[in-house]
Chain A
Amino acid sequence: MKFVKMALDWFNDRTGLIDMLDPMVKHPVPPDTGWMYVFGSAVLISFVLQIITGIFLATMYVPSSSEAYQSLEFITNSATLGSFLRGMHYWGASAMILFLGVHMIRVFLTGSYKFPREMSWLSGVVLLFLTVGMGFTGQTLRWDQNAIWSIIVGAEQAGRVPFIGQWVARLVLAGGTLSSVTLSRFFVLHVFVLSGLIIATLSFHLYLVLRNGISEPPVPGRRVKIPEYRDFYKRLLEKRGVPFWPHAAWRDAVFGFVVLAGIMLLAWLVGPPVIGKPPNPTIIQAEPRPDWYLLWYFAVLALLPHGAEKWVIVFGPLVVIVVLLLLPFVFPGGERNARRRPWAVAIVLTIVVSVAVLWRAGITAHWSPDFNAEALPKEVIGVTSGPVYLGSQLFANKGCIYCHAIAGRGGHRGPDLTTVGDRLTEQQMIIRVTNGGYNMPGFGSILSSTELKQVVAFLQSRQAPE
């Protein structure tokens, strides 16, 4: 021990690093911060895990379009602990996004974005978008079928930008088509650019924590008065402040350990995301989906009314960014406790419930045709010959079953037709099938008059049992 102390003393004498870091580690923090203040540290720990696992994954990953898929297959299926490492990287990213969201909600509900911590909030907003960017670019590096179509979908969205959309889309693709340069750019973005920006912004974020201190737990009725707040906070720390190490840090350490254990458990039990089909754009049996944290946005794009799409794709994110950036300037002072801010609670609840509902919709993707739907069995059709039977065969062959379910079989894009015979008359069905509608093609030019009669006869026979 004596030797270690001597070595540390020598090191500190020559570098001054311990003298510099000691006040930072032991800086006073308000008392009673509790477990609500651990989520920021959880994000930090998850990010450090991402850096470590990412570096080691990069030692085997080949960022070339012709070999990336094979190298990822090798990492997953052949390399020792490769699948586990990929799992840690994936679940680490999920943890980072999850706890970033929870941390932001905590900061918003406790009014911690108010004076003098406006810049902490702004840098946090930047970190949010950088982290989502890391998630998306990470998904593309799998360079499987889902990845390449996701990039094309991303380019299509970029193309909606007014005036310069085509150029922005070509910037995303690194040209007019997918190529190895596309992958190289996403690799550079993921590994160097976004990671570097996150490290820089995170450092700034932590520096601000040291400069302005962490916000004290809000007390109902204790409002933030801008001219007096700094003196109040200084007095609070002088009277009741406790050193961060170890009085507050132990909770961060314990929660961080739980997060790490959870990530490793998921990596072990669930594993990494499945690698899809090879990145061959001619394989059209593809259903591109984003990773779980963007599924809600996938649902938004599907459920938007016609005409609103361009505005939402381009201006939706812009509005969200502007609102988030303006928040601390519009409400710099005042009440911080959530019990006295019912609108803040209502806003958070609305956002959380909306995202949850959209997320669930994104998982089921009921708007997508079910191409795997099989023809209805005899027990559902009820007969084995005649117009009703022939109509049931057309119902399957003409793709109606991809979008309409009968007796629980078929897609869900259109209405369930199990009892459509009770709802629509023969004439109404003929009009509907012939002309189609907003989400249904008109079959007037596809079905012959005989076929139309058979389909309608089948649909008329779909009635609730008496």
Chain B
Amino acid sequence: MVPDADFLVKPVKTSRRGFLSFLSVATGIVGSIVVAIPVVGFFLAPVFKKPPGTWQVVGAVQDFEVGKIVEVEIEDSSTVPWTGVTAKTGAWLHRKSDSEFVAFTLNCSHLGCPVRWEAGAQLFMCPCHGGVYYIDGVVAAGPPPRPLQQYPARVRNGKVQVRSSPIPISS
């Protein structure tokens, strides 16, 4: 029999002290993991939960003038019931033609500040770092890396609907 195979026939000598140390550390680790799984899962769940977007009526078609851009309000559908007024969000709704509507998010694609529609200038302007967008959402000047994001918009039964979505995050 080769010496290396001794462990096959001889029991491994484990001292009482060594076993108790192992037992204490092992139960500590296992216990921590058992506690950590639900805690971390609870904390991280919103990160991976797909937000449920909903179509929301923002007005009748005739309420909006062709060529004009106005702010409309929608409700975040992924929020919790006790959020209050913070659950509201806005969108810039552009009626491009009789039947075509485009809804832009309020959030500047630079760092998320609320852009304003300046009707006289026909530009969206950001108060934080001076980002500017044309009427079609394309970047006109300043630091924004990409155009204004859009919410899905449609007309159903004479009503204009905008679909709520998560806050757009530029990456």
Residues of B within 8 A of A285 (CB): 116
The answer to whether the Cβ of B88 comes within 8 Å of any Cβ in the partner chain is: yes
Per-residue CB contact flags for chain A residues 263-290 toward chain B (1 = under 8 Å, else 0) read 0000000000000001111101111100
Question: Are A304's CB and B143's CB within 8 A?
Answer: yes
* A167 and B47 within 8 A (CB): yes
Residue from the list B78, B106, B127 in contact with A287, Cβ < 8 A = B127
In the complex, per-residue mask of A150-191: 1 if CB is within 8 Å of any chain B CB, else 0:
001101111110000111011101111111110100000000
B30 within 8 A of A: no
Contact of A281 among B44, B90, B110, B127 (CB under 8 A): B90
Is B123's beta carbon under 8 Å from chain A? Answer: yes
Instruction: Say whether A445 contacts B86, CB under 8 Å.
Output: no
Interface presence of B23 (CB below 8 A): no
B169 touches A155 (CB 8 A): yes
Q: Classify the secondary structure of B's interface with A.
A: loop
Question: 1/0 per residue B34-76: CB within 8 Å of A?
Answer: 0000000000101111010000000000000000000101001
B80 in the interface, Cβ–Cβ < 8 Å? Answer: yes
From B88, which residue of chain A is reached at the shortest CB distance?
A282
Per-residue CB contact flags for chain A residues 419-460 toward chain B (1 = under 8 Å, else 0) read: 000000000000000001111111001100000000000000
Give the bracket for the number of chain B residues in contact with chain A: 35 or more
Q: Does B33 contact A (CB under 8 A)?
A: no
The number of residues on chain A lying at the interface, defined by a beta carbon within 8 Å of a beta carbon of chain B, is 65
Binding site for B on A (CB under 8 A): 64-67, 143, 148-149, 152-153, 155-160, 165-167, 169-171, 173-181, 183, 278-282, 284-288, 301-302, 304, 306, 309, 367-369, 371, 397-399, 402-403, 413, 436-442, 445-446
A-B contact list, 18 entries, CB within 8 Å: A64-B84, A149-B114, A159-B169, A166-B171, A167-B47, A177-B87, A178-B79, A284-B71, A284-B90, A284-B116, A367-B130, A368-B127, A368-B129, A368-B130, A399-B125, A436-B140, A436-B141, A440-B132
Residues of B within 8 A of A (CB): 44, 46-49, 51, 71, 73, 76, 78-80, 82-90, 106-107, 110-116, 118, 120-123, 125, 127-130, 132, 134, 140-143, 145, 165-167, 169-171
A-B interface, 10 closest residue pairs, ranked by CB to CB distance from nearest = A66-B84, A176-B166, A441-B140, A399-B121, A159-B169, A176-B51, A179-B79, A282-B90, A175-B46, A156-B112
